[in-house]
């Protein structure tokens, strides 16, 4: 029930306590500028009960695994970067040695299907887990910073530094992968003497 409909029915809307306000402010400091416009709503489901509830994050699903790197979740970046390849190698051991041209041959159609299935599965997992993982990371950082003997301003600054986003590292790594991908394609397409 919205605050407006509660007021119209004579029910007072929920007023956050000072503790809830402080937590929301620290969460905003950790998440960054998109807290008010996007993440406050996305993470609201975890505020009362931090246990896992599937939510959806399009950015994490489409930018897999780079959304995790962008959000400074380096462990999850590594998981979503390496795990799909490991799963594909486990499911189709011969897939790792195939060139892009060989994968497109009709006899290797199952490899293409399996590659597609692994990618879709990892994107579904990333999109469904991302908001919860971000909330857990933010909540942990807020609790750890809250235990430190420092002023509220210093705590907010530390949360901004630990949280937020990492654009430069993300774009640099994307650039490296783009150059390597183009070099790989050019190496397989280039005519041999």
Q: Is 107 exposed, middle or buried (0-12, 13-18, 19+ CB in 10 A)?
A: exposed
- Looking at residue 82, its pLDDT comes to 95
Q: What per-residue confidence (pLDDT) applies to 191?
A: 52
pLDDT tens-place string over residues 126-138: 999 999 999 999 9
The single residue listed with the structure tokens 């709503």 is 41
Domain boundaries, the chain: 18-189
Could you read off the pLDDT of 153-171 as tens digits, one per residue? 999 999 999 999 998 988 8
Cβ contact 40:33 at 8 Å: no
- Residues 57/123, Cβ–Cβ less than 8 Å: no
pLDDT (average), residues 33-43: 93
Average pLDDT for 98-109: 83
CA 53-58-64 angle, 5° bins: 100
Tell me how far apart the alpha carbons of residues 192 and 111 are, in angstroms, rounded to a whole number: 26
pLDDT over 90, % of the chain: 63
The predicted-structure confidence for 173-182, as pLDDT tens digits, reads as follows 889 989 988 8
**In the chain, alpha helices (H):** 3-8, 18-31, 40-48, 58-62, 66-70, 74-91, 100-103, 109-146, 152-162, 167-189
By percentage, how much of the chain surpasses pLDDT 70? 89
| Token reading at 141 | 């950082």
Among the listed residues 35, 55, 50, the one whose alpha carbon sits nearest the alpha carbon of residue 160: 35
pLDDT at 32: 94
The stretch 14-25 carries a mean pLDDT of 80
Q: Checking phi first, is residue 166 left (phi over 0); if not, alpha (psi -120 to 50) or beta?
A: beta
């Amino acid at each position: 029930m919205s605050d407006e409909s509660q007021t119209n029915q004579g029910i007072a809307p929920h007023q956050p306590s000072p503790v809830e306000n402080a937590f929301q402010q620290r969460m905003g400091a950790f998440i960054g500028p998109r807290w008010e416009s996007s993440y406050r709503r996305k993470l609201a489901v975890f505020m009362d009960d931090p246990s896992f509830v599937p939510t959806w994050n399009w950015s994490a699903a489409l930018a897999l695994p780079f959304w995790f790197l962008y959000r400074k979740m380096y462990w999850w970046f590594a998981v979503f970067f390496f795990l799909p390849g490991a799963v594909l190698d486990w499911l189709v051991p011969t897939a790792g040695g195939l060139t892009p041209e060989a994968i497109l041959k009709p006899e290797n159609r199952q490899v293409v299907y399996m590659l597609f299935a692994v990618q879709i599965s990892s994107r579904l997992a990333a999109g469904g887990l991302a908001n919860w993982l971000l909330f857990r990371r933010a909540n942990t950082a807020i609790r750890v910073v809250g235990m430190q003997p420092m002023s509220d301003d210093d705590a907010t600054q530390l949360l901004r530094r630990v949280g937020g986003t990492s654009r430069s590292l993300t774009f640099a790594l994307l650039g490296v992968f783009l150059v390597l991908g183009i070099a790989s394609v050019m190496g397989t397409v280039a005519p041999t003497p």
